[in-house]
C-alpha cells in the first residue's frame, strides 16, 4: 500500500492574473517637484603685492566702503580640517566643515558654501576677506539668492615669497535675478581698481592657483605655530614666514 508521506503535494491551481487597465499617459494628473540651484563665481587676475605683515588690514582696506556689512577675515584652515567640505552626501566631510566654520557669520558661511562648491577658493593656503556687497539678508542674517558676497583673496607665492591678491565674488541659490551678474562684474571691477591703486601693485594676469599636497608629517610654522595642510609649502599660508622643509 502506498505510504502517505511519500505522496507528493498537490499543486494549487495558479490564479489567473487580472487584466491591467491601460492608462493613457496624456491624461494622467501628476505632481512634479523641482529645485534648481545656481551658484556663480567671478574671479579677477592675480596682482603681485610687496610682502607685508599687515595682510588682514591690507585686505580689509581694499573694499573702500563697497561692503555693506562688516568685513570678516577667513584664514587658512589647519591640518585637522583638511577634509572639510560643504557636501551633504558626505556627512563626515560636512561635519568637519561645520566644525571649522560654525562660529562664522551667516554671510561668511554663505560665501564659503558657494565658492567652495565651485572650487573657486582653497582654504589650504588662501586667506579670504569677505563681506556682503549687494542685496539683503533674511531675518536670520542669511543672504538672499540675489545677494553678492566676496572680497580679496590672497596667498604667498611659492617662487618669490611675495603676496598675490585676486578679487573674488559669488552669488546664487534658488534662482538668480537677471542683472545680478552685471552688478557683480561692476563691483569686481571697482575692487580690482582699488587693488591696482595700491602702492607697488603689479598685475600678473592669469595666475594658476597651486594645488595643495596633503599627507605626511607637517612641521608647524616657527613664527606663528600654524600647521599647514600643504606639506610642500615653503611659506606659511597664515603669516608668510619662510619655512624650513629640510
For the chain, where are the alpha helices, taking DSSP H only? 55-61, 91-101, 106-117, 180-196
pLDDT of residue 133: 96
pLDDT of residue 33: 87
pLDDT of residue 204: 80
Closest CA to 39 of 145, 167, 179: 145
Closest CA to 112 of 165, 154, 74: 74
Radius of gyration of the chain from its Cα atoms, rounded to whole angstroms:
28
Domain covering 38-205 in this structure, CATH number: 3.30.530
Residue 46, all three cell numbers: 592675480
Domains of the chain, by residue range, sit at: 38-205
Average pLDDT for runs of 10 along the chain of length 246: 56 66 76 86 90 80 92 90 87 92 95 94 92 93 91 86 90 77 94 88 74 61 67 66 60
Amino acid at each position: 500500500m502506498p505510504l502517505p508521506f511519500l505522496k507528493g503535494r498537490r499543486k494549487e491551481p495558479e490564479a489567473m492574473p487580472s487584466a491591467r487597465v491601460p492608462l493613457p499617459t496624456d491624461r494622467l494628473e501628476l505632481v512634479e517637484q523641482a529645485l534648481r540651484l545656481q551658484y556663480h563665481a567671478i574671479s579677477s587676475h592675480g596682482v603681485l603685492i610687496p610682502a607685508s605683515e599687515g595682510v588682514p588690514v591690507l585686505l580689509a582696506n581694499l573694499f573702500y566702503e563697497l561692503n555693506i556689512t562688516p568685513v570678516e577675515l577667513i584664514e587658512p584652515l589647519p591640518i585637522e580640517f583638511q577634509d572639510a567640505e560643504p557636501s551633504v552626501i558626505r556627512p563626515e566631510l560636512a561635519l568637519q566643515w561645520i566644525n571649522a566654520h560654525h562660529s562664522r557669520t551667516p554671510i561668511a558661511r554663505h560665501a564659503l558654501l558657494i565658492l567652495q562648491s565651485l572650487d573657486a577658493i582653497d582654504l589650504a593656503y588662501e586667506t579670504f576677506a569677505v563681506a556682503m556687497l549687494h542685496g539683503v539678508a533674511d531675518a536670520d542674517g542669511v543672504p538672499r539668492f540675489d545677494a553678492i558676497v566676496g572680497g580679496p583673496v590672497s596667498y604667498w607665492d611659492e617662487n618669490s615669497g611675495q603676496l598675490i591678491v585676486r578679487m573674488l565674488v559669488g552669488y546664487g541659490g534658488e534662482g538668480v535675478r537677471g542683472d545680478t551678474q552685471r552688478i557683480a562684474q561692476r563691483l569686481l571691477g571697482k575692487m580690482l581698481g582699488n587693488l591696482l591703486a595700491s602702492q607697488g601693485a603689479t598685475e600678473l594676469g592669469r595666475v594658476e592657483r597651486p594645488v595643495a599636497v596633503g599627507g605626511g608629517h607637517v612641521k608647524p610654522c616657527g613664527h606663528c605655530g600654524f600647521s599647514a595642510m600643504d606639506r610642500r609649502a615653503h611659506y606659511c599660508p597664515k603669516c608668510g614666514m619662510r619655512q624650513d622643509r629640510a
